Amino acid sequence: MIKPKAVKKGSTFGIVAPASRPNNDEALPKGKAAFEQLGFRTKVFPHVHDWHLGYLAGRDADRAADLNAAFADPEVDAIICVRGGYGCHRIIDKLDYDSIRKNPKLLIGYSDITALHVALGMYADLVTFHGPMISSEFAAGVSDFTRDNFLRAVSSTEALGALPADPQGPEPVTIRPGRAGGPLIGGNMALVTDLFGTPYEIDTTGKILLLEEIGDEPYQFDRVLQQLLLSGKAQAAAGIVIGQCADCEHVEGRSGYSRSAPLVEVVRDSFGGLNLPVLYNVPFGHIKNIWTLPIGVRATLDADAKTLSLDEPGVA
């Protein structure tokens, strides 16, 4: 895998919207200002504020053009996404992977950006970063935990080791004990499984599979777990790490079911029989305190100690 160059104060981040546009008119300037307070410069690409079909930041060709241009632009050192939302898998067949491979840069985002993590890893051999975004985190007031983890991940050329526990978050839960190592892969569950049957279907063999979701009822979450089992993707992984899945507990009236087991029981019922370590409820996903995770680098999961360690840096 190609590791992008580490960033430092004064580095220029290109701001792109490969999926949905900013949440509101204030989100981009507010998030941009907060991000620049970290000591970075920014360059906003042309189609960030475009609107297409009501939920996309412009037409597919324009969003892809912005991302291709950001990688090719010599003034840009790294790239950060405005937000997730929807639309990245509409542009992954329009990216210039040869140019990206020749101009490797740090790309950061999560949620719908999972499609870019998968595609860039497969076709540009590029390490990318599952982490905070301009509108989602920086405009909303990024937490110290998220900011510090982000800065360490994108600037340190040494292995970060065991990632810190969230002092304000829930205790991680060991679903299946054990210890395993392998490259990180995955991200948002819906995006990972939506790509099955396409040229962007992930290979989980020997890897640490990351999974997170937002807004699912437990039975909907279970549906995706079953897809991972029936496809053999779960069994092929070296280990599985599930984030803190926001708004995924049962809400009365949200579905046709009057009650549901807690999500942890659903995960244990589906993944508890796997012959590999599984850790649930760690700090990544659609939550306030998140790790920044370099997708593609080698990591070690210790489900007994409830830790995930980065065994190599994500940047060079």
Smallest CA-to-CA distance from 243 within 206, 283, 205 is with 283
Report the mean per-residue pLDDT for the chain: 97
Question: Do 198 and 123 fall into the same domain?
Answer: no
Whole-angstrom distance, CA of residue 96 vs CA of residue 184: 24
Residue 152 placed within a domain? no
- Catalytic pick from 212, 213, 260, 270? 212
Smallest CA-to-CA distance from 224 within 213, 209, 237 is with 213
Residue 147 placed within a domain? no
Residue 6 placed within a domain? no
Based on the residue annotation, tell me whether 286 is a catalytic residue of this protein: yes
Domain that holds residue 29: 12-142
Question: Do 62 and 118 fall into the same domain?
Answer: yes
Of the CA atoms within 13 Å of residue 90, those in its CB half-sphere come to 21
Percent of the chain residues topping a pLDDT of 90: 96
Question: Do 265 and 173 fall into the same domain?
Answer: yes
User: Are the C-beta atoms of 11 and 41 separated by less than 8 Å?
Assistant: yes
Question: Do 119 and 165 fall into the same domain?
Answer: no
pLDDT at 252: 86
User: Are the C-beta atoms of 174 and 101 separated by less than 8 Å?
Assistant: no
- Catalytic pick from 20, 47, 89, 111? 111
pLDDT at 48: 96
pTM exceeds 0.95 for this model: yes
Question: Do 167 and 129 fall into the same domain?
Answer: no
Residue 153 placed within a domain? no
* Residue 256 in this model has a pLDDT that exceeds 90: no
User: Are the C-beta atoms of 71 and 36 separated by less than 8 Å?
Assistant: no
Based on the residue annotation, tell me whether 111 is a catalytic residue of this protein: yes
**In this structure, what CATH number is given to the domain that contains residue 62?**
3.40.50.10740
User: Are the C-beta atoms of 169 and 289 separated by less than 8 Å?
Assistant: yes
Give the count of domains, the chain.
Answer: 2
Question: Do 183 and 213 fall into the same domain?
Answer: yes
